[in-house]
Structure 1
Amino acid sequence: MSITSYEGGCLCGHIRFLARGTPANPHACSCDFCQRHSGAPVLCWVEFPREALQWTGEGGAPALFRSSDYSSRAFCPRCGSTLGAVDDEPVVALVTGVFDRREAEELRPLSHSFEDGCPAWCGVAGG
């Protein structure tokens, strides 16, 4: 059975969210931006329409860093946790590691962008 709402937040709990609906475009990415944003060789994402997401924690919305012409990376200003990306288009992409119920099948990546950027020692990709 699929979940209709998802909660999560940063490491310290200052930034929390509630996302409603079904996550879209579940994927892994190994581009340079994702690796530097997360400090990991692979980052897993899902997307929600901006109107389906509420920032519910005492910290409100996360801090943003403009990382490209169309998107800003989101993070907690208190603990530094990576939360995702807020695109100029009406999409917010959240990293799957910040969800309270990370085991939800809807969060499972169905593709891997920039797989060739993943180091061979990682064991996740053909690298």
Structure 2
Amino acid sequence: MPKKKIHTGGCLCGAIRFEADAPAAKPHTCSCKMCQRHTGSLTASWVEFPRDAVRWIGPSGEPSTWRSSDISSRAFCSTCGSSLGAIDDHPTVALLLGSFDRTSAADLKPAYHSYKGGRPKWWCIEIPDI
């Protein structure tokens, strides 16, 4: 029987750690104002997992949350403040790709971009080779 692929990650200080069973769903980037303010970045990179596929394994257990909308709460570490993702009311956990230990897995590659209009006019996803 093949070994199950597991993604791992966590916050900056290590108090919050997670394991998420592959495959990941809906990997995407987003430039909406809520994502920008949640991450402090012009574009956030997300991937979704069923809630039962994510285990919080760090010494602090589950992340702290802040209710950000009628359907979701933003997840963060209360010790270091790192943004980890969003925990939706329906059984979905969306994790920020920057919180993963290894970000190069093929199933984490974003497939689309939400709210392109939220990017500043000067924002360019393509970076020329130097």
In which range does the TM-score fall when normalised by the shorter chain?
Answer: over 0.9
Any gaps of 5 or more consecutive residues in structure 1?
none
Structure 1 segments of 4+ aligned residues over 4 angstroms from their partners: none
Q: Deviations over 1:16-49 (max 9, x none)?
A: 0000120000000000110000000000000000
| Paired letter, 2:109 | R
The equivalences for 1:66-81 within 5 A come to 66-81=67-82
Using the alignment, how far apart are the partners of 1:7 and 1:44 within structure 2? 16
Using the alignment, how far apart are the partners of 1:121 and 1:8 within structure 2? 32
What is the TM-score normalised by the length of structure 1? 0.93
In terms of mean alpha carbon deviation, does 30-39 or 115-124 score higher? 115-124
Match of 1:30 in 2: 31
Match of 2:41 in 1: 40
Match of 1:59 in 2: 60
Identity of aligned residues (%): 54
Larger of the two Rg values belongs to structure: 2
- Equivalent position SS for 2:84: strand
Any gaps of 5 or more consecutive residues in structure 2?
none
The equivalences for 1:65-104 within 5 A come to 65-104=66-105
What is the TM-score normalised by the length of structure 2? 0.91
Aligned residue pairs total 123
Match of 1:11 in 2: 12
- Equivalent position SS for 1:34: helix
Using the alignment, how far apart are the partners of 2:111 and 2:121 within structure 1? 20
Q: Offset at 1:77? A: 0.3
How large is the Cα RMSD of the aligned pairs? 1.2
